[in-house]
């Protein structure tokens, strides 16, 4: 499971501090001068999986809204979050629970596209980052910004450009103070929800702080239509014209794009994050992932939000990435299991600009590793990558290491009190029910 797509069997792996110090293929002697030995005979070791587009806050709305359009779902989801009035403690509890779910499914790195609360936004940022630290997951906090709403996704809480720039710089500084396991990205919500001035400011802030940029792009047909109405041309062409496209940019969804727009993204080395479960649940459409891969674009996977999709699992996204295009198109457009696996590992690391550190099992890279004790659904091991992509649901995940530290060991979360987190989420249920009733009374 390295960058050359090699699968090593009957091998030893040596971790020193937070890095993979050495691989010992075959029957080579790894030596006896080690502090601790984990016997993985009969098990599978994977590079940590990566969710490169995720909304962790949506976890508390799991199962609430099953609407007939993205727009109807978006309005109810936004209203629920507004009426719920999330406190920093709420944010920390919800994000901790979501991170535990990710870890249990073998995800070691997550990009969280986070809408800062209107009251005390930096306290919300702090709570979201603290959840990363407390659970031990490697996290990128991508704070969302918008100053207009032509697609009716809600009135922005801040509409003044200077105020956004000031807050964004404060947020970048604050996130960077959490240490190397927590990184930051600037995340304009979507091009049509941002003035050109805000988009250019986001690019400049990202360059100043040497971080990535992340946004939604052409998620629905309506988004593409709004872009054409705003700009008089397709969204991607407009973004190229204003100088927004770059290798530091990753875009989620990228469904309603022409072949020419996809070629433009490739020319600027923009990264794509495919989110099949949310695209299917919300009826948004199907991205031309095979063309993107054939054109040489880096494509990662995202679990998106569980209130928009299914669960916080990249195994789930791998499987759907393979199955979805087969229901629509001829075999030339099918994504192969090996391609889906690469999207959930190496592709995600490239989308987050972390490919020098994570995404594969190689000497010198971070020791972000997942140990699987194969369940019956992975037996017999005939084509292991195909089986992992099409058959694994997370039940085989036994242990998870991040930065060389066990965050889950033999099915037990080691970094935080999982039962206490579960109790906090359960205690929110009556409040969620009241907010749901309020949303329905105020359509």
> Is the predicted pLDDT of residue 367 greater than 60, yes or no?
yes
CA gap 312, 305 in Å, rounded: 7
Strand ranges for 127-223 from DSSP E: 138-145, 182-188, 212-217
Could you tell me if residue 2 is inside a domain?
no
Query: Percentage of the chain with pLDDT > 70?
Result: 96
Q: How far apart are the first and last CA of the chain?
A: 50
What is the pLDDT, as a whole number, of residue 398?
Answer: 98
Q: Note down the domain range covering 131.
A: 50-351
* Average pLDDT over every residue of 67-83: 94
Q: Is residue 101 part of a domain?
A: yes
Strand order in the sheet with 138-145: 49-54, 107-114, 138-145, 182-188, 212-217, 249-253, 271-274, 299-301
26 pLDDT more than 70: no
- How much is the average pLDDT of 157-181? 90
Residue 326 within a domain: yes
Question: In total, how many domains does the chain have?
Answer: 1
Q: Is the per-residue pLDDT at 28 higher than 90?
A: no
Q: Give, for 134, the enclosing helix (H) or strand (E).
A: helix 121-135
Condensed to tens digits (0 to 9), the pLDDT of residues 189-200 reads 999 999 999 999
The pLDDT confidence band at residue 207, using thresholds 50, 70 and 90, is very high
Task: For residue 34, tell me if it sits in a domain.
Answer: no
pLDDT mean over 50-69: 96
Rounded Cα distance between 343 and 318, Å, is 8
Q: Is the pLDDT score of 1 beyond 70?
A: no
Predicted pLDDT at 6: 82
- Residue 247 predicted with pLDDT over 70: yes
Q: CB neighbours of 28 closer than 8 A, spacing ≥ 6?
A: 11, 12
Q: Which residue has the tokens 């987190």?
A: 421
pLDDT at 155 over 80: no
Return the pLDDT at 390.
Answer: 98
- Helices assigned H by DSSP within 189-298: 196-209, 221-231, 235-241, 259-267, 276-281, 289-294
pLDDT band at 421 (very low <50, low <70, confident <90, very high): very high
User: Would the pLDDT of 27 be above 70?
Assistant: no
Q: What's the pLDDT band for 31 if we cut at 50, 70, 90? A: low
| Residue that wins the pLDDT comparison between 47 and 152 | 47
Q: How far apart are CA 208 and CA 144, in angstroms?
A: 18
Q: What integer is the mean pLDDT of 22-41?
A: 77
**Would you say residue 155 lies in a domain?**
yes
Least Cα distance to 38 among 418, 438, 370 occurs for 370
Torsion angle defined by CA atoms of residues 391, 394, 395 and 399, in that order, rounded to the nearest 10 degrees? 130
More confident residue, 1 or 237: 237
What's residue 30's pLDDT? Answer: 54
Q: Is residue 86 a part of any domain in this protein?
A: yes
Q: Is the pLDDT of residue 151 over 90?
A: no
Q: How many helices (H) and strands (E) does the chain have?
A: 16, 15
**From residue 383, how far is each of 126, 203, 314, 387 by CA, in Å?**
44, 43, 19, 6
Average pLDDT estimate for 204-210: 97
Residue 319 scores a pLDDT above 60: yes
Residue 136 confidence (pLDDT) above 60 = yes
Nearest to 48 by CA among 135, 139, 109: 109
Q: What is the mean pLDDT of residues 222-229?
A: 95
pLDDT confidence of 204, banded at 50, 70, 90?
A: very high
Q: Is the pLDDT of residue 437 over 80?
A: yes
419 belongs to a structural domain: no
**Mean pLDDT value across residues 30-57:** 90
Residues 386-397 have a mean pLDDT of: 97
Residue 158 has pLDDT above 70, yes or no: no
Nearest to 384 by CA among 438, 335, 337: 337
| Mean pLDDT calculated for residue range 254-283 | 98
Query: How high does pLDDT run on average in the chain?
Result: 94
Residue 24 lies in a domain: no
CATH of the domain at 323: 3.20.20.140
């Amino acid at each position: 499971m390295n960058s050359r797509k090699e699968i090593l069997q009957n091998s030893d792996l040596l971790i020193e501090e937070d890095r993979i110090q050495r691989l010992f293929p075959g029957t080579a002697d790894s030596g006896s001068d080690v502090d601790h030995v984990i016997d993985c005979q009969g098990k599978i070791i994977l590079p940590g999986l990566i969710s490169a587009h995720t909304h962790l806050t949506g976890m508390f709305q799991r199962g609430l809204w099953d609407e007939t359009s993205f727009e109807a779902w978006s309005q109810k989801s936004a209203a629920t979050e507004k009426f719920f009035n999330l406190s920093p403690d709420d944010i920390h509890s919800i994000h901790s629970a979501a991170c535990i779910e990710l870890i249990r499914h073998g995800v070691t790195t997550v990009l969280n596209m986070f809408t800062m609360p209107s009251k005390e936004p930096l306290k919300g940022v702090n709570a979201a980052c603290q959840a990363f630290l407390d659970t031990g997951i490697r996290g990128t906090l991508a704070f969302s910004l918008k100053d207009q709403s032509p697609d009716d996704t809600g009135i922005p809480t801040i509409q003044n450009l200077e105020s956004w720039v000031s807050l964004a710089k404060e947020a970048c500084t604050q996130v960077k103070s959490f240490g190397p396991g927590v990184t930051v990205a600037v995340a304009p919500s979507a091009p049509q929800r941002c003035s050109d001035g805000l988009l250019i400011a986001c690019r400049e802030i990202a360059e100043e702080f040497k971080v990535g940029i992340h946004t939604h792009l052409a998620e629905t047909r309506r988004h593409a239509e709004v872009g054409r109405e705003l700009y008089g041309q397709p969204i991607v062409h407009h973004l190229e014209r204003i100088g927004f496209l770059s290798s530091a940019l990753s875009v989620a969804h990228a469904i309603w794009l022409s072949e020419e727009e996809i070629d433009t993204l490739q020319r600027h080395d923009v990264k794509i994050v495919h989110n099949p479960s949310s695209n299917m649940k919300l009826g948004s459409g199907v991205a031309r992932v095979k063309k993107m891969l054939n054109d040489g674009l880096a494509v990662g996977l995202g679990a998106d939000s569980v209130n928009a999709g299914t669960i916080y699992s990249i195994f789930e996204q791998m499987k759907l990435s393979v199955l979805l295009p087969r229901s629509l198109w001829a075999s030339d457009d099918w994504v192969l299991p090996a391609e889906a696996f690469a999207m959930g590992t190496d592709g995600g690391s490239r989308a987050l600009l972390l490919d020098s550190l994570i995404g594969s099992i190689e000497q010198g890279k971070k020791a972000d590793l997942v140990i699987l004790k194969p369940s019956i659904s992975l037996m017999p091991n005939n084509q292991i990558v195909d089986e992992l992509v099409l058959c694994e649901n997370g039940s085989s995940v036994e242990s998870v290491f991040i930065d060389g530290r066990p965050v889950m060991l033999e099915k037990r979360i080691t970094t935080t009190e999982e039962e206490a987190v579960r109790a906090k989420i359960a205690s929110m249920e009556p409040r969620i029910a009241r907010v749901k009733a309020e949303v329905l009374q105020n359509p």
